[in-house]
Amino acid sequence: MRNQPELCMSQKDWDRLKVLHAVQKELLTQKQAGLQLTLSERWVRKLLVRLRREGDRGIVHRLRGRASKRRLPEAVRQRVVKLVKREYADFGPTLAAEYLAEEHGVQVSKETLRQILMKAGVWRRKRRRVEEVHVWRARRACWGELVQWDTSEHDWLEGRGPQLYLLAMIDDATSRAWAHFAEQDTTAENLGLLASYLERWGRPVEFYTDKHSMFTVNRPACKAQDEAWPEAGTQIGRALRELGIGWIAAHSPQAKGRIERFFGTAQDRLVKGLRKAGAKTREEANRYLEFEYLPQWTSRFTCPPANPTDAHRPLGREHDLAAILSHVEERRVANDYTVRYNNKQYQITPEDIRPGLRGASVRVEQRWDETVWVRFRGSYLNVQLCEAPRRPQPPTASLRENKIPKPTPPRKARSWMQGFQLRKSLPVWKVIKQDRGGWVSSQGSRSAEPVGR
């Protein structure tokens, strides 16, 4: 008996073969077989003819086992593997396919590249870990209705430059993003990001952030139910209130998942883009971010909103960004019409002195250019920095040598010091110790009365 070649059949082929055998045994009609297999009667008859001529192998697809005519040539496949190993070793298949097309002119789909790299052992399939399932929240309808705001700490320059923070905002309805790099995650840097967003698109309806201390004052839990902490706000919270923008706090990282996924993509694509661009400073990184990466993000990852209405509101005359986005504190005017701020004293000019100013509270604004502005009842006052008085210089060495020291007055004896000289003059081995029955010396002799009090 000759060895028959192995017959590789899928589950779909086995199911189809079972129905066709039933037709051959006249247990089913061709029409009933077509309904079960979702095929036409003509195709069922054609499969029955193949089954009589070729046996069970007749139902196998004719192209199975053949190389595709659209298969990449072997030379192109080897070139792709060499390029990825040399320049894109840590790139994913999707990003590597984009760079191969843009920089080398090699057109290969991401799935084909994934299979080529897996076969060559350059890339391995990443298994997703099972996580808790969270219900996705629907996007807002209009652009500018809700904007998520957060910061990502990462080695963006891969050791080529200073440590940078990526401050970003992303629209919930369209995924349109705006961001910049900063060397510190401070209130001033976040206010600068807010100013650039407002000047570019206007005032959104609400911002969605975490519970960082820049956005809210975190206080410990109250011990009693009727106990409450006094209300306190941050500089960003005050600025949002003055701009008429709402604020929502997220209770978990999953709640602001859109900005978190933006950072996840940036930590892959943006890091490699900065490496290819050779960015080494904050200015170079911001230049690449604004003119290269963000336009790519807008064209590739944004989506149209459900409602084409733009929810951003324009800035009015009452919205002075220089004043609203500055560091603001309340100070009280002293009796000499001075205001103390940041360990410095500022004098209000005489022409701006008016009734009710002495002892009143004024608004002190420290602008971005480090200038200090003082506002009282809606109008700004002219102030001047008071120079600190000079401290007296210590006398020179010659004066100190010629100076006659003052005699030290004798110390008056106190009642508790009586007998101190006597105890001090005794030898060490005759130190007096107190006992229940009297005073005992170090040699063990007892006296009825203490020596001195």
Sign of torsion, CA 247 253 255 259?
positive
Least confident of 39-53, 116-130, 176-190, 394-408: 394-408
Does residue 54 sit in the same domain as residue 84? no
**Quick check: helix, strand or coil at residue 441?**
coil
Residue 390 lies in a domain: no
The DSSP code sequence of 98-120 is HHHHHHS-----HHHHHHHHHHH
Does residue 153 sit in the same domain as residue 293? yes
Count: domains in the chain: 5
Residue 138 lies in a domain: no
DSSP structure class, residue 314: -
Question: For residue 360, what pLDDT band results from cuts at 50, 70 and 90?
Answer: very high
With a cut of 90, say whether residue 444 has pLDDT above it: no
The DSSP code sequence of 377-398 is TTEEE-EEEPPPPPPPPPPPHH
Does residue 54 sit in the same domain as residue 170? no
Q: Which domain covers residue 171, as residue numbers?
A: 147-217+233-301
With a cut of 90, say whether residue 392 has pLDDT above it: no
Does residue 86 sit in the same domain as residue 196? no
Average pLDDT on 179-205 reads 95
Q: Under a CB-based contact definition with an 8 Å cutoff, are residues 245 and 203 in contact?
A: yes
Q: What is the pLDDT of residue 404?
A: 66
Q: What is the pLDDT of residue 64?
A: 79
Q: What is the pLDDT of residue 442?
A: 45
Does residue 108 sit in the same domain as residue 170? no
The percentage of residues in the chain with a pLDDT greater than 70, rounded to a whole number, is 80
Total residues belonging to the chain: 453
Residue 320 lies in a domain: no
Q: What is the pLDDT of residue 280?
A: 95
With a cut of 80, say whether residue 427 has pLDDT above it: no
Condensed to tens digits (0 to 9), the pLDDT of residues 96-131 reads 999 999 999 889 999 999 999 998 888 887 776 655
Residue 222 lies in a domain: no
Residue 34 lies in a domain: yes
Sign of torsion, CA 380 240 174 185?
positive
Q: What is the pLDDT of residue 252?
A: 85
Taking 3-state DSSP, the helix, strand and coil percentages for the chain, each rounded to the nearest 5, stand at: 40, 15, 45
More confident residue, 275 or 412: 275
With a cut of 90, say whether residue 270 has pLDDT above it: yes
> Alpha-carbon dihedral of residues 98, 99, 105, 108, nearest 10 degrees?
-40
Q: Domain containing 167 — which CATH number?
A: 3.30.420.10
Does residue 289 sit in the same domain as residue 358? no
Q: What is the pLDDT of residue 131?
A: 59
The percentage of residues in the chain with a pLDDT greater than 90, rounded to a whole number, is 56
Distance of CA 297 to the CA centre of its chain: 18
Token duo for residue 394: 């210590």
With a cut of 60, say whether residue 237 has pLDDT above it: yes
Does residue 193 sit in the same domain as residue 256? yes
Q: What is the pLDDT of residue 325?
A: 94
More confident residue, 32 or 401: 32
Average pLDDT on 145-155 reads 95
Q: Are strands 338-341 and 344-348 parallel, antiparallel or unpaired?
A: antiparallel
Whole-prediction pTM? 0.69
With a cut of 70, say whether residue 430 has pLDDT above it: no
Residue 267 lies in a domain: yes
Q: Which residue has the tokens 């923008």?
A: 245
Least confident of 67-76, 198-207, 222-231: 222-231
Does residue 104 sit in the same domain as residue 206? no
Q: What is the pLDDT of residue 4?
A: 53
**Measured CA angle at 67 (ends 66, 69), to 5 deg:** 120
Q: What is the pLDDT of residue 446?
A: 45
Question: For residue 447, what pLDDT band results from cuts at 50, 70 and 90?
Answer: very low
> How many other β-carbons are positioned within 10 Å of the β-carbon of residue 122?
17
Residue 131 lies in a domain: no
Query: How large is the C-alpha radius of gyration of the chain?
Result: 42
Residue 307 lies in a domain: no
Q: Under a CB-based contact definition with an 8 Å cutoff, are residues 335 and 359 in contact?
A: yes
Q: What is the pLDDT of residue 56?
A: 84
Average pLDDT on 302-316 reads 94
319-357 burial: b if 16+ Cβ within 10 Å, else e: bebebbbbebeebebeeebebebeeebbbbeeeeeeeee
Token duo for residue 438: 């009297």
**Quick check: helix, strand or coil at residue 150?**
strand
Does residue 15 sit in the same domain as residue 110? no
Q: Which residue has the tokens 């929240």?
A: 137
What does the mean pLDDT of the chain come to?
84
Does residue 284 sit in the same domain as residue 182? yes
Does residue 178 sit in the same domain as residue 248? yes
Average pLDDT on 78-106 reads 91
First-to-last alpha carbon distance for the chain, in angstroms, is 128
Specify the DSSP element, H or E, that contains 346: strand 344-348
Residues 6+ apart with CB under 8 A from 325: 191, 192, 194, 195, 239, 368
Does residue 242 sit in the same domain as residue 297? yes
Q: What is the pLDDT of residue 60?
A: 84
Q: What is the pLDDT of residue 395?
A: 62
Condensed to tens digits (0 to 9), the pLDDT of residues 276-301 reads 999 999 999 999 999 999 999 999 99
